[in-house]
Amino acid sequence: MLNAVEYVKLMREVYRDEIYQCLEFWQKNGIDEKYGGITTSLDREGKVFQTDKSVWFQGRGLYTFSKAYNSIENKPEWLKAAHNIYHFLKDFCFDSDRRMFFVVTQDGKPVQKRRYYFSETFAATGFAEYYKATGDRGALELARTVYRSIMNLYRNPNLSPPKYNPEVVRSKALNVPMIIIATAQVLRDADPENSALYGSDIDDLLKELFDDFLKPDEMALFENVGLNGERLDSPNGRLINPGHSIEAAWFILKEGIFKKDATITGKALDIMNWSYEAGWDKKYGGLLYFVDIEGKPSEKLEWDMKLWWPHSEGLIAFLMAYCATGEDIYIDRFKKVHDYTFGHFRDYEYGEWYGYLHHDGTVSNYSKGNIFKGPFHIPRALILCYLMLCELT
């Protein structure tokens, strides 16, 4: 049996190798050399099965290849991929009102535009990381401009069409503040000139998250609450997404470490612990997709499926917690998530990971990508874990 030092060294090599194979899969099969950008609808072998492009993944893919270039190796192929995506993203993915589309055709014609501004959050992070890779001031200015638009939409929710009738359903969702926190963290790193602005925004977002979505008495971070943070007695109001909560927890933990604030760090660890206890499937292993906090039937029919991205977030979160605390419970949880993930999601024949498993860990869908799955959660987890493993050795 490996001791802790031997285990960390082994994992460091595993994660470094996995970064290269994962990015090679996407670079070889997804990058569109004819029209630009990246196509993410790939079957098990990497063949394109539909050509429309997710705008989310233009920003996410730009971030991923730029991040790998900046932190793993100055590999020309990675920078070339980032350059390709960057130009497609800035030239074809903005509407005339400077909001972004959700899906465009292979050659950049608009297909769908949604009320959400997550296309913008991922574009901002992509532009910022690309600026770090290239020094292109135009990319930095784009990141700043898109970020200002995000914060304007966040502070003025009336500018976005409501999801539900606001006279009947008055609620808000966790995904908005948590994703903007992550966005602001990336921009703060790339744009230190404006670090005070990003830090102030993060403080406001953390306050909303802690005051409204975090319920310590119920040991949960809720997905949906009332406009003033009140608990909602409905399926959506009782909804916990363990992977989402764990993802939010490492964003928060990262901020606590940055600020050297034990209170923030403690809340992050609480969320991480509660979410793991609520979400880990004690019979089959893996993280459940959704949980009803009161144990009532879930409206989400996919509630007991196991998806790639919550497990990717678990890898980051528990390793980060171990680095921050040195407590064995977190390296033990990292090992459990790692063993489940590499034992069930990893495709050792064709590369990359499956995205969707049944409750018992068998593969539900053999595709490697779609408009929601592409080169982001997995390579981000691999890159960040590798960097943390290097710090531990």
DSSP characters over 178-237: HHHHHHHHHHHHH-GGGHHHHHHHHHHHHHHIIIIIEEGGGTEE-SEEETTS----STTT
Confidence (pLDDT) at 363: 98
How many separate domains does the chain show?
1
Confidence (pLDDT) at 165: 84
Spatial contact of 11 and 318, defined as CB atoms under 8 Å apart: no
* Cα→Cα distances 13→162, 229, 333, 335, Å: 47, 44, 19, 15
pLDDT tens digits, the chain, 393 residues: what are they?
888 889 999 999 999 999 999 999 999 999 999 999 999 999 999 999 999 999 999 999 999 999 999 999 999 999 999 999 999 999 999 999 999 999 999 999 999 999 999 999 999 999 999 999 999 999 999 999 999 999 999 999 988 888 888 888 889 999 999 999 999 999 999 999 999 999 999 999 999 999 999 999 999 999 999 999 999 999 999 999 999 999 999 999 999 999 999 999 999 999 999 999 999 999 999 999 999 999 999 999 999 999 999 999 999 999 999 999 999 999 999 999 999 999 999 999 999 999 999 999 999 999 999 999 999 999 999 999 999 999 998
Confidence (pLDDT) at 88: 98
Confidence (pLDDT) at 4: 81
Q: What is the pLDDT of residues 237-246, one digit of tens each?
A: 999 999 999 9
DSSP state at residue 156: -
* Cα→Cα distances 376→2, 5, 58, 64, 362, Å: 31, 29, 10, 6, 23
CATH at residue 342 = 1.50.10.10
Count CA atoms within 13 Å of residue 275 on its CB side.
32
Q: What is the pTM of this model?
A: 0.97
Residue type, 372: F
Hey, how many other C-beta atoms are within 10 angstroms of the C-beta on 59? Answer: 29
Query: Cα 123 vs. chain centroid, distance in angstroms?
Result: 13
Hey, how many other C-beta atoms are within 10 angstroms of the C-beta on 363? Answer: 14
Cα–Cα distance between 333 and 314 in angstroms, integer?
Answer: 8
- Pair of tokens at residue 45: 């072998």
What residues make up the domain containing 350? 4-392
Q: Write out 267-299 in H/E/C secondary structure.
A: HHHHHHHHHHHHHECCCCCCECCCEECCCCCCC
The CA-based dihedral angle spanning residues 390, 195, 144, 184, taken in that order and rounded to the nearest 10 degrees = 60
Confidence (pLDDT) at 62: 98
Spatial contact of 163 and 176, defined as CB atoms under 8 Å apart: no
**Can you say whether residue 329 is alpha, beta or left, with left for phi > 0 and alpha for psi between -120 and 50 degrees?**
alpha
Confidence (pLDDT) at 323: 97
Confidence (pLDDT) at 3: 87
- Pair of tokens at residue 124: 């901002």
Q: What is the pLDDT of residues 134-165, one digit of tens each?
A: 999 999 999 999 999 999 999 999 888 888 88
Three-state DSSP class for residue 328: helix
* Cα→Cα distances 166→15, 157, 170, 347, Å: 46, 11, 5, 45
Spatial contact of 208 and 215, defined as CB atoms under 8 Å apart: no
Cα–Cα distance between 144 and 169 in angstroms, integer?
Answer: 33
Identify the burial level of 284 via C-beta atoms within 10 angstroms of its C-beta, where 0-12 means exposed, 13-18 middle and 19 or more buried. Answer: middle
Cα–Cα distance between 333 and 315 in angstroms, integer?
Answer: 9
